[in-house]
């Protein structure tokens, strides 16, 4: 087994703790904006030190400021606050599964924006994820309409996150791109965050920045030195599986038989999209 695949698995495991920390922090009475604000603040300090040790400069072209403002708004301010809020009003399992509707949005956006062809595989993935969402929410609507709406919006912003990330790393190092995305996201969070938090919550806030943010991202970047992005994306779909297991162990969250089937369909649809992307990449490389 390549070391790269192990690093992707470790990164995905780190990311799977996002909802877990959100659940713990909600117990301290923290709102999603405040959770994300301190997560971003601590992550900036950690990442800044890391960039300094590696000798990576902090300079940025003025022409890139507008891009990072947009990136920070969608990828930090919207995405993470929507995700944490969905966790708070539903469950970790529900939130992480709706997060993984993101690849389906890329199919829809590809069709509407770029006129990409809807293949049989893409249509099957759309069908699988749509049915999966219905099953996870339950025939009787286990969670509120608000939770369903915010969960689906989380998936959309996660899809935009992926698109913007690809654009960012074309001109900046991945760690530097993350640093500026976090920095701009912090500015958007400032007006909505509370600066007074319980002392007991600070270790959880720091851990939220250290594990799923700093370590997760660094591990994934190191993995990409050995594993192609398309293959890494497939391995990373282990994230919702780990999150569901952790939610069961820590909070006693359970999924019924139909919900488990829905989870399989959502994760399977996501993997199907990533596998097609990998074949497309390999096909283009073979023609070169």
pLDDT in tens, the chain (288 residues): 478 889 989 999 999 999 999 999 999 999 999 999 999 999 999 999 999 998 888 888 889 999 999 999 999 999 999 999 999 999 999 999 999 888 788 777 777 766 777 788 888 888 888 899 888 887 556 788 899 999 999 999 998 887 788 788 888 888 899 999 999 999 999 999 999 999 999 999 999 999 999 999 889 888 877 887 667 777 888 999 999 999 999 999 988 888 899 999 999 888 887 776 655 545 544 444
Do residues 271 and 234 lie in contact, with contact meaning Cβ atoms separated by under 8 Å? yes
Predicted pLDDT of residue 199: 95
Predicted pLDDT of residue 19: 95
Cα–Cα distance measured from residue 67 to residue 69, given in angstroms and rounded to the nearest whole number: 5
Q: At what angle do helices 239-251 and 92-99 cross, to 10 degrees?
A: 170
Cα–Cα distance measured from residue 21 to residue 32, given in angstroms and rounded to the nearest whole number: 11
Cα–Cα distance measured from residue 240 to residue 102, given in angstroms and rounded to the nearest whole number: 13
Predicted pLDDT of residue 279: 58
Cα–Cα distance measured from residue 64 to residue 134, given in angstroms and rounded to the nearest whole number: 40
Burial (CB count <10 Å: 0-12, 13-18, 19+), residue 162: middle
Cα–Cα distance measured from residue 288 to residue 276, given in angstroms and rounded to the nearest whole number: 19
Do residues 89 and 150 lie in contact, with contact meaning Cβ atoms separated by under 8 Å? yes
Predicted pLDDT of residue 141: 63
Closest CA to 126 of 113, 148, 111, 145: 111
Would the pTM count as exceeding 0.85?
Answer: yes
Predicted pLDDT of residue 277: 61
**3-state class of 196 per DSSP?**
coil
Which residues lie below 8 Å from residue 194, measured CB to CB, with a gap of 6+? 30, 31, 33, 34
Task: Dump the DSSP string for 110-135.
Answer: HHHHH-----HHHHHHHHHHHHHHHH
Cα–Cα distance measured from residue 274 to residue 238, given in angstroms and rounded to the nearest whole number: 13
Do residues 282 and 241 lie in contact, with contact meaning Cβ atoms separated by under 8 Å? no
């Amino acid at each position: 087994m390549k070391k790269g695949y192990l690093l992707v698995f470790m990164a995905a495991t780190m990311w799977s703790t996002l909802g877990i920390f959100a659940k713990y922090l909600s117990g301290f009475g923290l709102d999603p904006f405040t959770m994300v604000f301190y997560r971003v603040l601590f992550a900036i300090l950690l990442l800044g030190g890391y960039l300094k040790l590696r000798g990576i400069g902090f300079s940025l072209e003025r022409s890139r400021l507008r891009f990072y403002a947009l990136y920070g708004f969608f990828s930090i301010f919207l995405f993470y606050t929507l995700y944490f809020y969905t966790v708070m009003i539903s469950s970790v399992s529900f939130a992480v599964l709706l997060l993984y509707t993101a690849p389906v949005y890329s199919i829809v956006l590809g069709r509407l924006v770029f006129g990409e062809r809807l293949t049989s595989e893409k249509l099957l993935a759309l069908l699988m994820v749509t049915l999966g969402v219905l099953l996870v929410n339950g025939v009787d609507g286990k969670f509120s309409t608000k939770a369903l709406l915010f969960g689906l919006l989380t998936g959309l912003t996660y899809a935009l996150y992926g698109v913007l990330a690809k654009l960012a790393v074309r001109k900046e190092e991945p760690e530097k791109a993350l640093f500026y995305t976090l920095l701009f996201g912090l500015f958007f969070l400032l007006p909505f965050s509370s600066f007074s938090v319980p002392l007991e919550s600070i270790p959880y806030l720091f851990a939220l920045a250290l594990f799923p943010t700093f370590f997760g991202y660094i591990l994934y970047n190191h993995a990409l030195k050995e594993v192609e992005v398309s293959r890494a994306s497939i391995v990373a779909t282990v994230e919702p599986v780990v999150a569901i297991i952790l939610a069961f162990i820590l909070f006693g969250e359970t999924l019924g038989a139909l919900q488990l089937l829905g989870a399989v369909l959502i994760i399977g649809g996501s993997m199907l999209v990533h596998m097609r992307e990998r074949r497309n990449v390999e096909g283009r490389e073979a023609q070169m």
